[in-house]
């Protein structure tokens, strides 16, 4: 019986699955964003996030453990260097999965897997928007609005008078 075993085997043998996840994790670390199926992405997240947590503490032991998972020196350098600098203060949740569409051939659900702090578009949206004031529909606000309009009109009129007086000055200087 398989009570409580939620591990998705992805239709592969253990060695094939381990190699595939290692390759996908290396690609994710090096390229910061990859496209894959939703099932693989969910398994990849379980595979990569503990590695990034280990990388926060740069010791020889942690580097060797990460290398046993990834089997790629370039990805280890990137993981312990640039990636940890970006996500060092984050308490977890280093990987974002964004569902895209369905694959044409077999209708598999596709998604984009990315490291969270590397998406510039999402970082721009994360900035707080300007606070807007709430306008009510009460009738007591209408006299205030009317009062607010009249000073603007009053300000516009002196400008018109100033331009007329400037025109007169120019006419006098021309004579």
Tell me which residue of 108, 22, 35, 117 sits closest to 67, measured CA to CA.
Answer: 22
For residue 7, the model assigns a pLDDT of 87
pLDDT digits (tens, 9 = 90+) for 1-16: 989 988 899 999 999 9
pLDDT digits (tens, 9 = 90+) for 39-51: 999 999 999 999 9
For residue 3, the model assigns a pLDDT of 93
Of the pLDDT bands very low, low, confident and very high (cuts 50, 70, 90), residue 159 is low
pLDDT digits (tens, 9 = 90+) for 131-152: 777 777 776 655 555 555 555 5
Query: How high is the mean pLDDT of the chain?
Result: 84
Checking if the pLDDT of 100 tops 90, the result is yes
Alpha-carbon distance 57 to 62, whole Å?
7
Q: Is 174 exposed, middle or buried (0-12, 13-18, 19+ CB in 10 A)?
A: exposed
Segment 154-175 mean pLDDT: 56
Alpha-carbon distance 50 to 158, whole Å?
69
pLDDT digits (tens, 9 = 90+) for 59-97: 999 999 999 999 999 999 999 999 999 988 899 999 999
Alpha-carbon distance 71 to 81, whole Å?
17
Distances (CA, A) of 163 to 147, 159, 169, 175: 26, 6, 10, 19
Length of the chain: 175
Which domains does the chain carry? 14-125 (3.90.1030.10)
For residue 168, the model assigns a pLDDT of 57
E strands along 5-162, which residues?
33-37, 95-102, 109-115
Of the pLDDT bands very low, low, confident and very high (cuts 50, 70, 90), residue 122 is confident
């Amino acid at each position: 019986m398989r009570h409580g075993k939620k591990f998705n085997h992805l239709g592969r043998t253990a060695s094939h699955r381990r190699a595939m996840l290692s390759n996908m994790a290396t690609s994710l670390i090096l390229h910061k964003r990859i496209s894959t199926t939703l099932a693989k992405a969910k398994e990849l997240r379980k595979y990569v996030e503990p590695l990034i947590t280990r990388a926060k503490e740069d010791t020889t032991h942690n580097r060797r453990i990460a290398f046993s998972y990834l089997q790629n020196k370039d990805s280890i350098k990137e993981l312990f260097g640039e990636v940890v600098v970006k996500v060092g203060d984050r308490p977890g949740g280093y990987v974002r999965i964004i569902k895209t569409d369905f694959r044409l051939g077999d209708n598999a659900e596709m998604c984009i897997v990315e490291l969270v702090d590397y998406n510039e578009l999402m970082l721009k949206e994360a900035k707080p928007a300007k606070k807007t004031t709430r306008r009510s529909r009460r009738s007591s606000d209408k006299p205030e609005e009317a009062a607010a309009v009249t000073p603007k009109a009053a300000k516009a009129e002196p400008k018109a008078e100033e331009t007329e007086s400037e025109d007169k000055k120019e006419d006098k200087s021309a004579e």
